[in-house]
Amino acid sequence: MSKAEPSAAAGASTGALEIKDTRTGTGYSVPILPPGTEGDTAIRAMDLRPIKQSPDEFGLMTYDPAFMNTASCKSAITFIDGDKGILRYRGYPIEQLAEKASFLEVAWLLRNGELPTQAEYTDWTHQITYHTYVHENIKTFLQGFRYDAHPMSMLCSSVAAMSSFYPSAKNIQDPAERHISIVRLLAKLPTLAAFCYRHVKGLPFIYPDNDLSYVENFLSMVARMTEPKYEANPIFVKALEVLFILHADHEQNCSTNAVRAVGSSHVDPFSAVAAGIAALYGPLHGGANEAVLHMIKEIGDKKNIPAFIEGVKGGKGQKLMGFGHRVYKSYDPRARIVKKLADDVFKVVGVDRDLEIALELERIALSDDYFISRKLYPNVDFYTGLIYRSMAFPTDFFTVLFAVARTAGWLSQWEEMLNDKEQKIARPRQIYTGYGERPYQSKLDHSVGAQRKDAVRK
Ligand code: SDX
Could you tell me if 207 and 133 are in contact, meaning their C-beta atoms sit under 8 angstroms apart? yes
Phi (first) and psi of residue 371, to 5 degrees: -80, -40
- CB count in 10 Å sphere of residue 110: 22
Ligand 1 centroid–CA 286 distance in Å is 12
Domains and CATH numbers, the chain: 2-67 (no CATH), 92-420 (1.10.580.10)
Give catalytic residues, as residue numbers. 325, 381
pTM: 0.92
Pairs from 36-40 (Cβ < 8 Å, separation ≥ 24): 36/74, 37/76, 37/79, 38/79, 38/81, 40/71
Chain segment 262-275, per-residue pLDDT in tens:
999 999 999 999 99
Rounded Cα distance, 321 and 323, in Å: 5
Query: 383: which residues sit within 8 A by CB, 6+ positions away?
Result: 322, 335, 338, 339, 341, 342, 358
Chain segment 165-208, per-residue pLDDT in tens:
999 999 999 999 999 999 999 999 999 999 999 999 999 999 99
**100 against 366, higher pLDDT:** 100
Over pLDDT 90: what percentage of the chain? Answer: 82
Pick from 237, 275, 269: nearest CA to 403: 275
Q: Does any ligand 1 atom lie closer than 6 A to the CB of residue 312?
A: yes
- Residue of 249, 326, 383 with the most ligand 1 atoms within 8 Å of its CB, for mutation: 326
Ligand 1 centroid–CA 32 distance in Å is 30
